[in-house]
Structure 1
Amino acid sequence: MKLWPALLLLTALPQAVQAGCSRPIQVPVGPVGLSVVVDGDQISGAYPLLLQQLGATQGCRFVFQPVPRARLERLFETGAADLIVPATHSERRDAYGEFVPLILSRPAAVSLQSRRAPQLHSTAELLGRKELRVVVVRGFDFGAPYQRLVEQLREQGRLQQESEVGTLLRALQEGHADLAVLSPTNVYGVAPPGGKPLDPQLRVEPLDDLPWREAGFYLSNKSLSPADRDLLRQMLQEAERSGAVWRALSLAYPPQALEGAMKSR
């Protein structure tokens, strides 16, 4: 996966090494499209590479560990994870950490071209098409409107939840669900278990009443010292201001994956 050129562009960041973090920063991660790529114990993707480059200039070391997304949320809540990478802003997470916005993102309806569901433009249309079965990833949170949609789909008996994006794609591929609701960037570059990525087959339809939301990283209020949290916040804010975050994503994803799903702040 050709993500290494991102490191070349990121060298535009200030190179003076700071005093650094007081200890290694623990970052459990689950696969999130090409943003976070998990291959066994190997972690890559736009955001891990970005953090490694930023850490090299700021004197911070990031320790990545692959975990299911739902478990990641629990680790963050209990103080066993220092960061959530990446995450959308949500009131629930605010109880456990500080949000650092980096981009704007929104979820959409994602289906396969070979199983074309009727064209959708809103969650109201989706809720009205009661024959359509919907799959989501347990632990993903795109804000209150998304959570209301998930709850309504559950009440209608149409909701399927999977523990990770790969099994969500398998549900679409095998016809157990008609469409998924999540950010399109979550699925690009991800393969169903035992298969290949379905990127050319994906159909993306923005749901206009699911608003753009800030997305970025969460810093733990429980596990991080105030000094480490301040350093990490400043490091990420500078990466956002300099354009390093958007450059890393643009190098990782094809344009069609970002269009309508992500944009710079």
Structure 2
Amino acid sequence: MRLRGLLAACLAAQTVLAAQASASCSRAIAAPVSSNGASVIIDGEHVKGIYPDLLRTVASKTGCNIVFSVVPRARQVAMFKAGKADLLVPASRTPERDQLGTFVPMINHRAMLISVATGRAPLTSAQDLLARKELRVAVVRGFDYGEHYAALVNELQKQGRLFVEVDVIAVARLLNAGSADVTIMGPTLMAGAIRRDPRVHGLQEKLKMEPIPELPWRHSGAYLSNALKPDDQAILREALDKAGKSNQIMEGYLRYFRADVLTDSVRPR
């Protein structure tokens, strides 16, 4: 009887393990992506970079089929809002997005004021930037660094000195040409774009990074859409959470960037 019970327990354990091993998503997972520094690199038809590498690891471990498509950043965000994107990466956490999906933190980061160093007086706050009306500011459509960022961008728009561009490299070209004076984003985004575009090579060494209190440290990571079935969301959430705790994203940043680029703008979760 004891042997029979032991065999039954072993079979039950094997059944559970087999079920866990075969756990996968019920359908293909839509992951539209846009060029985003080293976080997402678009090389022709190939999608690579820190977050695609992570998602391919997640797909391998879960058996889920994660399907990438390349779109502009603004369209990527719009698709997530409309429930047509199952994943939004990378993404800062915002109250609006919390209504649309579940956030999984991966790293801490902050946006900064980035400009070509010209010897001008330092900028120490949003109000300081708003008061310096001679400075033209460029941002990327679809980027969101919280309520203070949105308010600052709205006021700059009202003042008529805001450029809104489709991607980071377009902003880098404006800075390089002297057509814009300041941008607001994570320094790694700018560094990644500069490294990939020969038209702005050499710009990185000229840049000045300035933190302001209205743009504090924030979590960045992945959003899982409420459009996902609960079981699918649970599978992906567990895999992404494990990756976040393992600092896989931070390790990815360290592979792509010098430590001095990361010091003031990216740190582990």
Q: Is the 8 A contact 1:105 1:262 kept in 2?
A: yes
- Tell me if structure 2 keeps the 8 A contact 1:122–1:209: yes
Q: What is the distance in 1 between the residues matched to 2:60 and 2:113?
A: 38
Matched, 1:21 2:25: yes
Number of positions where the alignment pairs a residue of Structure 1 with one of Structure 2: 248
Query: Secondary structure of the residue that 2:199 maps to in structure 1?
Result: coil
Q: Tell me if the contact between 2:172 and 2:200 (Cα under 8 Å) persists in the aligned partners.
A: no
1:57 aligns to what SS in structure 2? helix
Change (3 A) 1:209 1:79: closer
Give 1:166's match in structure 2, choosing from 142, 163, 169.
Answer: 169
Give the letter aligned to residue 54 of structure 1.
V
User: In the TM superposition, what is the alpha-carbon distance from 1:233 to its structure 2 partner?
Assistant: 0.8
Q: Aligned equivalents of 1:250 and 1:61: distance in 2?
A: 28
State the match for 2:11 in structure 1.
none
Choose the corresponding residue for 1:48, options 31, 47, 52.
52
The structural deviation recorded for 1:243 is 2.2
- Conservation of the 8 A alpha-carbon contact between 1:123 and 1:149: yes
Identity %: 41
Listed as ranges, the matches of 1:143-222 within 5 Å are 143-191=146-194, 195-197=199-201, 198-222=203-227
Where does structure 2 lack aligned partners over 5 or more consecutive residues?
A: 1-19
Whole-angstrom CA distance in 2 between matches of 1:31 and 1:118 = 32
Amino acid at match of 1:246: M
Match of 1:131 among 129, 134, 139: 134
1:6 aligned residue? none
1:142 matched to 2:150: no
Shift of residue 93, structure 1, vs aligned partner:
1.7
Cα deviation code 1:4-56 (max 9, x no counterpart): xxxxxxxxxxxx95512222211111111111111222111111111112221
Supply the AA of the counterpart residue of 1:206: P
One of 115, 125, 131 as aligned partner of 1:122: 125
Within-5 A mapping of 1:76-87: 76-87=80-91
Offset, 1:247? 1.4
Q: In 2, Cα distance between the equivalents of 1:208 and 1:255? A: 23
Which deviates more, 19-28 or 199-208? 199-208
Deviation for aligned residue 1:155: 1.8
Report what 1:68 is aligned to.
72
In the TM superposition, what whole-angstrom CA distance separates every residue of 1:191-225 from its partner, at most 9, and x where no partner exists?
48772443333321112331111111111112x11
Paired position in structure 2 for 1:12: none
Instruction: Flag structure 1 segments of 5+ consecutive residues without an equivalent.
Output: 1-15
Question: Where has structure 1 moved over 6 Å in runs of 4 or more?
Answer: none
Match of 1:238 among 238, 242, 249: 242
CA separation of 1:225 and 1:117: change in aligned 2, threshold 3 A: farther
Indicate conservation of the 8 Å contact 1:52/1:61, yes or no: no
Q: Which has the larger radius of gyration?
A: 2
TM-score (norm 1): 0.87
Alpha-carbon RMSD across the aligned residues, in angstroms, is: 1.9
